[in-house]
Chain A
């Protein structure tokens, strides 16, 4: 299981600032919804694929995985539209969403998590006024991406350990027998991680702040 979706390549798209890519994504969304025609949706889809596969040289699998992930959702949407309005409307609605999903995949695959969180931090900048530390928001996002796979692995390990001793609970019981020990591990780990953050200067931040204004 991989959540770090970044695919390293030496391309123009990779080098573009994260903020620019996110703005472009937003602009594309606006365009697609402001001009809901088959031509615009089709052209946008082709354009997205050209940028992703051609310019950024991402593997087809990266985009295919995203498209597959939403296939049932798109199919359902198509059916609903086809029944309530007409087939062309259904088609361009689906094309539009597929384009956005793929464009978002291109952005995430060409942008490092740290660059993305730097943008989030900038957007959250004004929250500083109400006492939020934007660096912490960014760190929280990055750490979530880092630790979700770790937790999944720990949960697997607990299940394996239980299976090794003959346990193979199902349903609610399985949830209980896995979740309780996992929670203990998570709390222990949270403590260890906070120590590690401290040891690497996480609270050096006030130094940075005092230089401001």
Chain B
């Protein structure tokens, strides 16, 4: 008595225009009276995009706009032709999201069960689910831990698990909000390599500037505005100048 969609993965047929990227049109956001983001007009099509800025500058809010976790109080966010305000389910299938704290993202007691969770939501049949879970676990070095309790994993393994749980859903784009902040150097490097190897478009919010090596485009957010939009070299330089003046 489970009700499943006959097909599994999000069909690209739902999508108006898969290659269009993420567009922000006149986007602003406020929490109550407090303006957190304002006047953002961008089109994000590059495969590797970084977002940097001071604490509280609005980066996480910006990131959450991209998959409809936050709907802007002004303007529109359009993902491949889908409006996050009206087509949020389809948007979330297109855009995966990885958070900073893996503990808050792992919702099932064991590794394989957790990875299967998103697929279950999408109505993927059990056989296909098991196969895709196994494949992802193998790819990210968790194959030996399929039946392990999630809370016994190391911090680095937990973050890999959280990422696997998103990638198994095969999103076309993935947003990461400070994915390496809680990790030691070795695990941070592993996550950085994993991100570098993804075929998806990625948008990474980070305070760890070396994560941006090889990126195509970096946005510097300050006071809720994008104050610099450039390749990593000039963008990081601008960010340092900005911070030096504080």
A196 at the interface (CB under 8 A from B): yes
List the B side residues contacting A197 at CB < 8 Å.
Answer: 107
Interface residue count for A (Cβ, 8 Å)?
39
B104–A189 touching, CB < 8 Å: yes
Given the known inter-chain contacts A6-B147, A112-B110, please indicate yes or no for A201 contacting B3, CB distance below 8 A: no
Q: Choose among B101, B105, B116 the residue that contacts A114 (Cβ–Cβ < 8 A).
A: B116
Per-position contact with B for A111-139: 1 when CB-CB < 8 Å, else 0?
01110001001100100000000000001
Per-position contact with A for B109-124: 1 when CB-CB < 8 Å, else 0?
1100110111001110
Closest A residue to B112 using CB positions: A112
Nearest CB of chain A from residue B23's CB, rounded to whole Å? 20
B110–A198 touching, CB < 8 Å: no
In whole angstroms, how far apart are the Cα atoms of A200 and B170 in the complex? Answer: 11
Q: Choose among B69, B92, B108 the residue that contacts A142 (Cβ–Cβ < 8 A).
A: B108
Q: Choose among B2, B4, B117 the residue that contacts A200 (Cβ–Cβ < 8 A).
A: B117
A180 at the interface (CB under 8 A from B): no
Closest A residue to B166 using CB positions: A200
Interface residue count for B (Cβ, 8 Å)?
41
Closest A residue to B4 using CB positions: A208
A196–B3 touching, CB < 8 Å: no
Per-position contact with B for A22-57: 1 when CB-CB < 8 Å, else 0?
000000000000000000000000000000000000
A208–B113 touching, CB < 8 Å: no
Given the known inter-chain contacts A207-B123, A211-B3, please indicate yes or no for A4 contacting B109, CB distance below 8 A: yes
Name the segment of B76-84, B148-156, B181-189, B197-205 touching the other chain: B148-156
In whole angstroms, how far apart are the Cα atoms of A97 and B198 in the complex? Answer: 54
A212 at the interface (CB under 8 A from B): yes
In whole angstroms, how far apart are the Cα atoms of A196 and B89 in the complex? Answer: 14
In whole angstroms, how far apart are the Cα atoms of A205 and B4 in the complex? Answer: 9
List the B side residues contacting A4 at CB < 8 Å.
Answer: 109-110, 149-150
Given the known inter-chain contacts A2-B149, A149-B149, A201-B122, please indicate yes or no for A142 contacting B103, CB distance below 8 A: no
In whole angstroms, how far apart are the Cα atoms of A4 and B108 in the complex? Answer: 10
In whole angstroms, how far apart are the Cα atoms of A198 and B4 in the complex? Answer: 18
A residues contacting B by CB (< 8 A) are 2-4, 6, 8, 112-114, 118, 121-122, 125, 139, 142-143, 145-146, 149-150, 153, 189, 192-193, 195-205, 207-209, 211-212
13 contacts between A and B (CB under 8 A): A3-B149, A112-B110, A112-B113, A112-B147, A118-B2, A146-B114, A192-B101, A195-B69, A198-B69, A200-B169, A201-B89, A202-B121, A204-B122
Nearest 3 Cβ contacts at the A-B interface: A192-B104, A201-B121, A4-B149
Given A113-B108, A201-B118, A211-B6, 13 additional A-B pairs, CB 8 A: A114-B113, A146-B114, A146-B150, A149-B149, A150-B151, A193-B104, A195-B99, A196-B99, A199-B69, A200-B117, A201-B169, A204-B123, A212-B3
